[in-house]
Chain A
Amino acid sequence: MIDADLVRHAVEAAKQAGADAADAIQLSSDSVEARVRGDEIDYVKQARERALGLRAFVRGARGLSTALVSTSDLSHAAIRALATDAVALARATAQDPDAGLPSDGFARDWPELELLDPRDREVPLERQLAEAREAEAAARAVDPRIVNSEGTSVSSSFDAVAFACSTGFEGSYEGAHHSLVASPVAAENGAMQTDYWLTAARRRSELDAPAHVGRKAAERALAQLGARRVPTQEAPVIFEAPAARAVLGNLVACLSGGAIYRKTSFLAGKVGERIGSDAVTVIDDGRRRGGLGSRPFDAEGQATRRTVAVEKGRLASYLLDVYAARKLGLRSTGNASRGATSAPGVSPTNLWLEPGRDSLEQLIASTERGLLVTGLFGQGFNPVTGDFSRGARGFWIERGERAFPVEEITVAGNLADLLRGVDRVADDLLWLGSLASPSFRVAQLTVAGAA
């Protein structure tokens, strides 16, 4: 399904148009997505998408100048016109001594990453719709207070990536992504609550059963009925795995090479320093088998690899693409990512917080009083300072047990203090995407609510 000749053609066209170096990426995707509410289909959407991104570099006295162009018109004529545009654009931008393509570090061979099961291409839409209905029915069957649904969404996409650059790398790979997300609505005494649960995998055989997803989503929505605020106070806070993943997302933004060389991360210049408690180990691995973020090479052709970012609380490595690495005098960690219309930037591949030995229930049982956060929302995070303040929902813990559900509160503090305050990490690492975290407890944060 992917035409490797096309990216090679684009690179050659750029060089013919006057570029000193060029790389091209082609992204192709065939996808279907649908949403079902109750028994009824809400929508079904089918798509074929093809796009090509081309980067052209022109040499000057003080370095290379760069342009990035893209098109969804993949005719050879359109690509030749695009290449000419790119070179003209590059000549209008500044020369940058750090710009340019890598000359080594390319992926040469890689293990089978299990990113796709060919049999999944044959699965009819009807089967996926039936699975969505199954999740909806399972959610309703949990309790009569499950009165409605925002729908269960199913999606499957088969994607292909082809990449070529003028410094000697060419490669392609395919991968698939399947998911099912259920969002039932629970109601009692005129108040509604919703929550979601999902399963996502590269191969359909690795998805959780639809009924399990529906039930779990329903149980989460039901448990939130009757939620109230708690008084403003300092308290220990346990982040349940899905919320813990959101915290990890904030940390990732601060580990990214772009934020480091721009000094817009509070972690800039801190490699080797202690930034968290002994319980904090964070790993990025682009070659995890079947990983939702796995890929054999990154968006600059660099071999993906395993990078220990934080080791027992000590900052061990940033996540880098080629440009950020040059700015910092380091080597790329194979974390370049790009769409057709975006320049390469750093993103994690499969990144997780190493799990501990206790169960979440043990963490709760060992907390005399405090907050269990099951969901975070809002974007209140400043990577420059590490300050955060985010909306939260979950449960108040009294004497080691969930006492009542809470909502309309915030948790606030500084990410540096949070990482140093992680005193227990649970064993429930859960892969719902390319980032994963087990539940963990922080000794103390500010909880704002009533009064």
Chain B
Amino acid sequence: MSTRLPTQFFRERFGVDDHSLARTLDAALDGRADAADLFFEYSTRDAVVLEEGIVKSGDRHLAQGVGVRVQAGEKQGYAHSDEIDAQSLIHAAATARAIAAGSGAARSVAVRGPTAPARDLYPIGSAPTDTPIAEKVLLLEQIDAYARSRDARVKEVLASLVCQNRHVLLAASDGTFVADVQPLLRLNVQVIVENAAGRREVARQGGGGRFELGRVLLPTYWRPLVDEAVRLALLNLEAVPCPAGAMDVVLGPGWPGVLLHEAVGHGLEGDFVRKGTSVFGGRVGQRVAAPGVTVVDDGTLPGRRGSLNVDDEGTPTQRTTLIEDGVLVGFLQDRLNARLLGVAPTGNGRRESYAHLPMPRMTNTFMLAGSDDPAEIVRSVSRGLYAVNFSGGQVDITNGKFVFAASEAYRIEDGRITAPVKGATLIGNGPDVLTRVSRIGFDLALDRGEGTCGKDGQSVPVGVGMPTIRIDGITVGGTER
């Protein structure tokens, strides 16, 4: 880990210091608004993409900018600029202040003593963006050769490696002054297979997180990803149409935790709760899940894709229990919604970049393990579906309806896993689906670091996790009776 304070980066590169920050925040508050904050970002990202056996292009991108926010009551004014200098800062502050046009009590700003986050969840020696591109090209070429060597039916391999290093600095009128350096990398492998009859299928696998690139370069990291992509694509060649209708479903461990993200996670975000548009609003203390179901959001897991030392408002991330033994106990908050609801922020104020307003967002969301044997859970179903991989989902937080699409699923017949099925979609109702959980496995797993969550046009990296669970009577959207 670098011994240099991350705040130094912005001072050296842009001349941003305590004095200029205090001056800008003063201008933004103008003694009248409730709160003001500044978010500086300097991000580098590089990407290599392989297809048809070669890396056709190398990418490198630089994004820098600052966002100034002023809050007055429920109102937020936001101005951002890709120029970071004293004049742009004051201009943006004046714009944000004029927008919010507050009338709060007079106050002034003191910015002192920059801090580094109290802990480092992603201690790395060198940023993934610092590794020469030649090593990244070599990795993808190895992946291509390996995938093709696994099976003659592998016709095409698409692989990509995206590395990012994001410097952020946050200063707020309440004295918050903190900086962080956030590495992130992601490896993706997509395999296209074709059988003798000319049927083509595709499968994807991905992984990554906030750790050193060296870990991904090891065959022990990427070979299992490739094996899994090849296995899934070949499996899809054998897949039969999916049954349709309400049935008992067993979800496998890990990535199927996207169910929690869609079915309950979004509905527990503080902005929807404050505005009264979430189906979960006003239900704290009520049963929203079966006994034994405990769901947490935890931004403090070292190296995970959804983890952060501090959120994008400078609040340290934490572990927040959302549902405890089936009872709703908490929501996810950013500073604005916490202030308006009279509760403490939970370190969930996140934004895609300096060009975006923060909102309450999830970090790593998962269900804690139960005590059932996963094999026994499958055996308990006489006719149903076993779904172990998903491609994504969506939710309508107002009526609670959610949908998510399986990329690997099998029929369960008389307690046995039988034919793989294609194109299964699960649809349900957030406040209802977790009350139908009848078994919880002891095999909690987190995903491999491939989740991206979209909300109001903003994308942020997230994690999910779950043990094997059984849900009774959920609608499966297939085509067969």
Contact = CB atoms under 8 A, between A and B. Distances in A.
A380 B426 CA distance: 10
A442 interface: no
Given A47-B79, A192-B399, A193-B398, A67 B277 contact: no
A347 interface: no
Interface string B140-161: 0000000000000001101000
A46 B59 contact: no
Given A92-B137, A378-B405, A387-B423, A263 B200 contact: yes
A382 B237 CA distance: 13
Interface in A30-86: 37, 40-51, 66-73, 82, 85-86
Given A229-B475, A408-B427, A70 B62 contact: yes
A150 B277 contact: yes
B373 to A, nearest CB: 30
A49, A71, A263, A412 pick with most chain B CB within 10 angstroms: A412
Interface string B56-81: 11111111110000000011111111
Interface string B270-314: 000001110100000000000000000000000000000000000
Contacts of B132: 92
A48 B82 contact: yes
A40 B75 contact: yes
B244 interface: yes
Nearest to B60: A69
A232 B481 contact: yes
Contacts of B424: 389
A379 B423 contact: no
A94 interface: yes
A408 B222 CA distance: 38
A272 to B, nearest CB: 19
A150 B62 contact: no
B202 A89 contact: no
Interface stretch (B21-29, B47-55, B342-350, B464-472): B47-55
Contacts of B133: 89, 92-93
Nearest to B422: A387
A384 B392 contact: no
A268 to B, nearest CB: 9
A66 B56 contact: yes
Nearest to B479: A446
A380 B475 contact: no
Contacts of B401: 377, 391, 393, 407-408
B172 interface: no
Interface in B98-130: 99-100
A67, A71, A72, A85 pick with most chain B CB within 10 angstroms: A72
A191 B51 CA distance: 49
B422 A378 contact: no
Contact of A343 (B59, B74, B95, B156): B59
Contacts of A380: 391, 403, 405, 423, 425, 477
B57 A379 contact: no
A307 interface: no
A365 B109 CA distance: 66
B409 to A, nearest CB: 11
A341 B162 CA distance: 13
A400 interface: no
A448 to B, nearest CB: 4
Interface string B198-213: 0011100000000000
Contacts of B394: 377-379, 391
B393 interface: yes
A113 B200 CA distance: 42
Contacts of A411: 477
Interface string B164-207: 00000000000000000000000000001000000011100000
A44 B77 contact: yes
Interface in B382-400: 391-394, 396, 398-399
A93 B58 contact: yes
B475 A192 contact: no
B425 A391 contact: yes
B193 to A, nearest CB: 10
Interface string B356-390: 01000000000000000000000000000000000
Contacts of B479: 389, 412-413, 446
A408 B475 contact: yes
A45 B79 contact: yes
Contacts of A382: 202, 422-423
A266 B127 CA distance: 41
A450 interface: yes
B218 interface: no
A93 B423 contact: no
A148 B480 CA distance: 40
Majority secondary structure of chain A interface residues (helix, strand, loop or mixed): strand
A407 B158 CA distance: 37
Contacts of B64: 72-73
B338 interface: no
Contacts of A263: 155-156, 192, 200
A301 B201 CA distance: 35
Contacts, number: 243
B184 to A, nearest CB: 15
B357 A45 contact: yes
Given A193-B398, A262-B192, A380-B403, A185 B60 contact: no
B252 interface: no
Interface residues of A, number: 75
Contacts of B74: 40, 42
Interface string A159-192: 0000000000000000000000000010000011
B478 to A, nearest CB: 6
Given A391-B425, A391-B477, A449 B57 contact: no
A451 interface: yes
B246 interface: yes
Nearest to A95: B54
A69 B403 contact: no
Interface string A193-215: 11000000000000000000000
A125 B77 CA distance: 12
A412 B423 contact: yes
Contacts of B33: none
A188 to B, nearest CB: 12
B226 interface: no
B428 interface: yes
Interface string A327-352: 00000000000001101000000000
A148 B403 contact: no
A66, A149, A410 pick with most chain B CB within 10 angstroms: A410
A388 B242 CA distance: 11
Nearest to B336: A43
B468 to A, nearest CB: 23
A264 B244 contact: no
A174 B51 CA distance: 35
Nearest to A66: B57
B404 interface: yes
Contacts of B76: 42-44
Contact of B56 (A94, A379, A449): A94
Interface of B: 45, 48, 51, 54-65, 74-82, 95, 99-100, 132-134, 137, 155-156, 158, 192, 200-202, 242, 244-246, 275-277, 279, 355, 357, 391-394, 396, 398-399, 401-405, 422-425, 427-429, 475-481
Q: Which 6 A-B pairs have the closest CB atoms?
A: A410-B477, A391-B403, A94-B54, A378-B403, A448-B244, A380-B405
Given A66-B57, A185-B277, A377-B394, 13 more contacts: A67-B57, A71-B62, A94-B56, A148-B277, A341-B61, A341-B63, A378-B394, A379-B393, A379-B405, A385-B422, A389-B405, A410-B403, A446-B479
29 contacts: A40-B75, A43-B357, A47-B79, A70-B62, A71-B63, A85-B60, A89-B58, A92-B132, A93-B54, A93-B56, A99-B56, A150-B275, A224-B399, A232-B246, A263-B200, A264-B156, A380-B403, A380-B425, A384-B202, A387-B422, A387-B423, A389-B425, A391-B477, A409-B427, A410-B403, A410-B427, A412-B244, A412-B478, A449-B245
